[in-house]
């Protein structure tokens, strides 16, 4: 099966610090992959390089068979890459519904794009249907008309997830998707991600510190330590390796 996303020998340094050191992995359609590791392991920097927010120093990113130029997010969005962030990024004055409308229109740029984004001009039946189904999928239908600034952190996380899903991405990158969620919301996200991967064949990559969530959601787990990829496999396989136990427990048994 052709990979939806390939990272090949990625490297990234900041000054004299090698934040990402020759990291390679691939994610296939319908697969959920979790990236775990201690703070400072380089997980979010890998995401930044894959998503185009940082220009990698070496290596390449291939999305749906297209080799991407380093840096720049627009090409990636057009090819079907969506991302959420460790720190919630929303527009407080926009409603939940309008967040999804902006995201949907941003994936189909046109000469009218900025007018549409700023004025939120008349919606098409397809836009209304896709937004309604995505809000229902994420359990947000009753909050459609609420301004996002009035919502708590957990609900803002769900708005970010819905915003990322509304355009039917090929690849979805989620950075700390469980942060701020209660147990019921985490379980809902796990179920929705598994369902989305299975039904839409979306390739999903999750950076996550909640290992209980990782165990339930991931088909495969990548472990990073000090900028390097040190283990890969099922949750049980990677957690049984001495290098991972040392990273999380301080020493291997």
Cα distances from 48 to residues 70, 76, 102, 226, 227, in angstroms, run 11, 12, 22, 16, 13
Residue 75 has pLDDT above 50, yes or no: yes
**pLDDT band for position 180 (50/70/90)?**
confident
Mean local confidence (pLDDT), 138-161: 91
Query: CB neighbours (10 Å) of residue 152?
Result: 9
**pLDDT band for position 85 (50/70/90)?**
confident
Strands across the sheet with 220-225, in order? 81-83, 171-175, 203-207, 32-36, 220-225, 228-233
Mean local confidence (pLDDT), 143-150: 92
CB 233 within 8 A of CB 61: no
Q: At what angle do helices 125-137 and 153-165 cross, to 10 degrees?
A: 130
**pLDDT band for position 111 (50/70/90)?**
very low
What's the rounded Cα separation, in Å, for the pair 20 and 46?
7
Please enumerate in sequence order all residues whose Cβ is within 8 A of that of 34, keeping only pairs 6 or more positions apart, or say none.
205, 206, 207, 208, 214, 217, 218, 220, 221, 222, 235
Mean local confidence (pLDDT), 107-129: 67
User: Under DSSP, is residue 23 helix (H, G, I), strand (E, B) or coil?
Assistant: strand
Residue 114 has pLDDT above 60, yes or no: no
Torsion 57-62-67-69 (CA) sign: negative
Nearest CA-CA partner of 60 in 1, 4, 11: 11
What's the rounded Cα separation, in Å, for the pair 192 and 198?
10
Q: What is the pLDDT of residue 90?
A: 81
Q: What is the pLDDT of residue 252?
A: 47
């Amino acid at each position: 099966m052709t990979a939806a996303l390939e990272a090949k020998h990625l490297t990234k340094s900041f000054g004299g610090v090698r934040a990402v050191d020759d990291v390679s992995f691939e994610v296939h359609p319908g697969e959920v992959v979790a990236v775990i590791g201690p703070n400072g392991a380089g997980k979010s920097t890998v995401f930044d390089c894959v998503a185009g927010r940082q220009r990698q120093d070496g290596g390449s990113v291939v999305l749906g068979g297209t080799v991407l130029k380093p840096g720049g997010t627009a090409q990636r969005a057009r090819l079907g890459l969506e991302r959420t962030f460790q720190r919630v990024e929303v527009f407080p004055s926009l409603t939940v519904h309008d967040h999804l409308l902006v995201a949907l229109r941003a994936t189909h740029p046109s000469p009218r794009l900025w007018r549409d984004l700023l004025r939120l001009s008349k919606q098409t039946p397809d836009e209304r249907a896709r937004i309604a189904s995505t809000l229902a999928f994420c359990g947000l239908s009753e909050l459609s008309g609420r301004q996002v600034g009035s919502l708590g952190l957990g609900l803002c996380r769900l708005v970010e997830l819905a915003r990322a899903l509304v355009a039917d991405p090929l690849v979805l990158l989620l950075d700390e998707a469980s942060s701020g969620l209660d147990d019921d919301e985490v379980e809902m996200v796990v179920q929705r991600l598994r369902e989305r991967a299975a039904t839409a064949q979306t390739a999903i990559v999750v950076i996550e510190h909640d290992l209980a969530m990782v165990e339930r959601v991931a088909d495969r787990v990548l472990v990073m330590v000090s900028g390097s990829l040190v283990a890969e496999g099922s949750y049980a396989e990677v957690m049984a390796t001495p290098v991972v136990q040392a990273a999380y427990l301080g020493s291997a048994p």
